Structure 1
Amino acid sequence: MAIRTRKFIVDTTLRDGEQSPSVNFTRQQKLDIASLLDDVGVTQIEAGIPAGSREEKETICQIINRCKHAKIAVWSRLNMNDLRQCMDCGPDLIHISIPVSDLQIYSKLRKDRHWLINQLFSSLELLIDQHVNMKHISIGFEDAFRADNELLIKLCNILLDFNIRRIRLADTVGTMVPSLCRKRFTELAEETGHSAQFGFHGHNDLGMGLANTIEALKCSCNYADTTLMGIGERTGNCDFQQLVSVTQHLFDFGLTAKSARDVQKEFVKIIHQAA
């Protein structure tokens, strides 16, 4: 019997999943979903955005106190206030999203690459001043697959110099295909001496979320973002149950295909409960 490679699930149902059209979880539903994922053995739960609202922040703190097994992550923009709100919650991991394509930097932020790098340094200095362990920081490259490879390599090396190993590449607009996904991860791993622990966040705009995630995991990626029932912004993200079931002979996620199916069934019950 072939030895399966150990890989890890980062479930973002409570963050990106709630960006699905018409999806709006109650606090109790969020707590129940987090407990469900925690009990089944999901490695990491992305619990939400503390800067989103006071209620969101309070719910995240409750999730952190309730979950006993999974690492709880919170999401932040490259923004000082966001980071302070995240630190207030005391999570296991702070995930900072950085727009890296020129389309995102120049059109969305109306900034430039020089501003981006300076803002990154300022953010990391704030975390250091607040005695945050860099092992508890994850950086996400937003729109990574439409970004310049040289910029990504430069950013990766900056992060590695700060002892930040967790780096997530996001196919933000869902335009990637498996062959190009593999190429980008392979190039970055080689250029950074295989020192980073890469993750992948795929969107399903062209129906490739699952395929791209599997291809990323086959090369230099260790962490796969999923959502229950594949919900998420626009057409959704990589489906949790599908990923575990399809790859059960390739990867060991620390849970079984049966348990993944059972979680999905319980999730359906939770979201159909009256608010």
Structure 2
Amino acid sequence: MKDKGNVLAKLAGSKLNICDTTLRDGEQAAGIVFANLEKVRIAKLLDEIGVQQLEVGIPAMGGDEKTAIKRIAHLGLNASILGWNRANKEDIAHSIDCDVDSVAISMSASDIHIEHKLMKDRQWVLDKIVESVEYAKAHGMYISVNGEDMSRADPEFMVQFCQTAKEAGADRVRYCDTLGIMTPSGTYAAIKNIVDKVGIPVEMHTHNDFGMATANAISGVQAGATFLSTTVMGIGERTGNSPLEEVVMAAKHLLSIDTGIETKRFREVTEYVARASGREIPAWKPIVGSNCFAHEAGIHTDGVMKFLSNYEPYSPEEVGMSRKIIVGKHSGRSTIKQTLLAKGIEIDDATATAVLEIVRATSVSLKRSLSENELVYIYQDYKDGVKDTLPNNRSTTHE
């Protein structure tokens, strides 16, 4: 039998714990299949950066899924290892067989799901929660009871749902905004209601159907939630989940809550998960996208060169990224001067203005930004009096 005290000890070290579900909900995204080797590697990476709990899959699926889960459970990771289950003894028995130390027990909370998916009633739901929680508790498991579609549940029943889970022996409840329909203000009110009336730890599990997964997760924390459910890069069902890298950095910089996660490895971990899932990392992706610290606009570039915090909310090194100054249509004279100076070429303002005119015209003509070497070539051609460097649609703008 497992000793739940070990899990509680692991989760006691942080004010805000991360339960990452990349290996469960992340893999449920249409078209994503992790090889067992990849599942193990992802689990190791997440453990190395300090994620406190890993939801590693659905043991009741059997086959390769169960094999991978059992292997991860035997790696000796620092993180707690959690298996996802429906609210029945058979599912939980599969989790116990995999030697995980924690179980998530999922049950529909909204009348829409209860009536049209389960085709049962509210009392049946509460009875199944009690039955499954007591069974898991008898085997020494740390228990999270997940309220599927809780964001559409009747508020009074939502409290009853959570109270039933607590009294049966659950250690926390997972508030699931299954369809991503919540707003930050609505999320805050819902979570505060549970925290105040039930007094059980709450985990935020938010989806991104309206682009609010991170905002809703953070609002939940502001209301008293102490766990965040995440996936790397936000991969997951439909439009995805709250991204690990976003909620950790938002908690740190906007709420002054340090989760203890080693953020310097975010880009590294994201690159591995992206490859394993067959997904690209969008250039504009918050925290880990290649454009996060890329500056082209003249005013912004000049500001960053003078003082980094003028246009950067945190340093690129903090998340394993690097700063890039882009030469292109929107560049200003200071970018031209500083970029060439880094190449050992010092120019005056008049030369910078002339070269900038060529740079902008060339960028428009090629429909892209220019490399530093291309800037050097443009400068050399300008200095040598080469006229055909200028495209026909030459710009006349100087600033």
Whether these two folds match at TM > 0.5 is yes
The partner residue of 1:37 within 22, 42, 46 is 46
1:242 equivalent in structure 2: 246
Matched ranges for 1:109-258 at <5 A: 109-128=118-137, 131-133=138-140, 136-192=142-198, 195-249=199-253, 250-258=256-264
Deviation at 1:267, TM superposition (A): 2.7
**Which amino acid is 1:169 matched to?**
Y
Deviation at 1:246, TM superposition (A): 2.8
Unaligned runs of 5+ in 1: none
> Hey, which of these two has a bigger chunk of strand by percent?
1
Size of the alignment, in residue pairs?
Answer: 264
Q: Find the aligned partners of 2:166 and 2:274 in 1 and give their Cα distance.
A: 40
Measure, in 1, the Cα distance between the counterparts of 2:250 and 2:162. 31
> Which sections of structure 2, spanning at least 5 residues, go unmatched?
1-13, 279-399
Q: Which amino acid aligns with 1:226?
A: T
Amino acid in the other structure paired with 2:236: G
CA gap 1:266/1:101 in 2 versus in 1, 3 angstroms: same
TM-score, normalised to structure 2, is 0.63
How far apart in 2 are the matches of 1:256 and 1:57? 29
1:91-144 C-alpha deviation (Å, 9 max, x unpaired) = 11110001010001000111111211222222234335xx3236x111010011
1:27·1:59 contact (CA, 8 Å) conserved in 2?
A: yes
The Cα shift of 1:67 comes to: 4.3
Q: What percentage of residue pairs aligned between the two structures are identical?
A: 37
Code of the residue aligned with 2:196 in structure 1: it is: E
Superposed CA deviations along residues 123-173 of structure 1, whole A, max 9, x for unmatched, are 234335xx3236x11101001110011112112222222332311100001
**Does the 8 A contact of 1:248 with 1:257 survive in 2?**
no
The whole-number CA distance in structure 1 between the counterparts of 2:251 and 2:167 is 34
**Distance (whole Å) between structure 1 residues aligned to residue 110 and residue 47 of structure 2:** 34
Amino acid aligned to 2:189:
K
Q: Which amino acid aligns with 2:247?
A: L
Aligned counterpart, 2:21: 12
Letter in 1 for 2:32: V
Q: CA deviation at 1:269?
A: 4.5
Query: Are positions 1:99 and 2:113 aligned together?
Result: no
User: What is the match of residue 266 of structure 2?
Assistant: 260
Provide the C-alpha distance between the structure 2 equivalents of 1:29 and 1:161, rounded to a whole number of angstroms. 38
TM-score, length-scaled by structure 1: 0.91
CA distance in 1, matches of 2:113, 2:162: 18
Q: Is the 8 A contact 1:33 1:270 kept in 2?
A: no
Deviation at 1:270, TM superposition (A): 4.4
**Is the 2:130–2:165 contact (alpha carbons within 8 Å) kept by the matching residues of 1?**
no
The SS at the match of 2:56 is strand
1:65 corresponding residue in structure 2? 74
- Structure with the greater alpha carbon radius of gyration: 2
Return the match for 2:64 from 27, 30, 55. Answer: 55
SS at match of 2:23: coil
In 1, distance between residues paired with 2:78 and 2:136?
Answer: 25
- Please say if residues 38 and 67 of structure 1, whose CA atoms lie closer than 8 Å, have aligned partners that are also in contact: no
Q: Distance in 2 between matches of 1:213 and 1:27?
A: 30
How far apart are residue 261 of structure 1 and its match? 3.0
